[in-house]
Amino acid sequence: MSKTLESAIFLSMNGKTQEAINFYKKHFNAEELLLVTYQDMAKRDNTIQITDENKNYISHSILLIGKTKVMIAEDTMDTNEKYKVGNNTSLCIQSADLNEIEHFYNSLITDNRVRIIVPLSKNVFSKAYGIIEDPFGIQIQLMFDNRLK
């Protein structure tokens, strides 16, 4: 296992991400490490549709609460599912070791009980990003993140 491997809690807030960030900063003294809006993402990916309603929505954020990273965004991991409490949390496993992320993904998908939500592939923010749902209903994001070095 690499020294860059980490896991984080990922919360989806259905349009209330900024409110949640402010809440956690106020009550837990959370430190904001990253904040990316839909408008920021649209600068990197022209397929993202920006409206007056969603332009300030948060595509991704990272808070540090003590020693724990909490990631917060607007959308659930499976965009085909309607938002509800219960499908708004996931586990994010990330590493600066690309082979490690690929190994985890390839190992997970050998289990026929695992559902692939987003196949592991390159996107605008990672060389490798995918989402699966494990046999216990937990949605797991796997991501290569070179910043963890």
Tell me: do 28 and 53 sit in the same domain. Answer: yes
Does residue 2 sit within a domain? no
Supply the range of the domain harboring residue 31: 7-80
Structural domain ending residue among the three candidates 21, 49, 80 = 80
What is the rounded distance in angstroms from the CA atom of residue 108 to the CA atom of residue 1?
Answer: 16
Its sign, for the CA torsion 139, 73, 30, 97, is positive
The confidence score (pLDDT) of residue 137 equals 84
Tell me: do 76 and 37 sit in the same domain. Answer: yes
CATH of the domain at 28: 3.30.720.120
CB 124 within 8 A of CB 41: yes
Tokens of 56: 């300030």
SS3 83: coil
Does residue 1 sit within a domain? no
80's torsion region: left (phi>0), alpha (psi -120 to 50) or beta?
A: alpha
Tokens of 27: 């009550």
Residues of the chain with pLDDT under 50: none
State pLDDT tens for residues 109-127.
999 999 999 999 999 889 9
The confidence score (pLDDT) of residue 62 equals 95
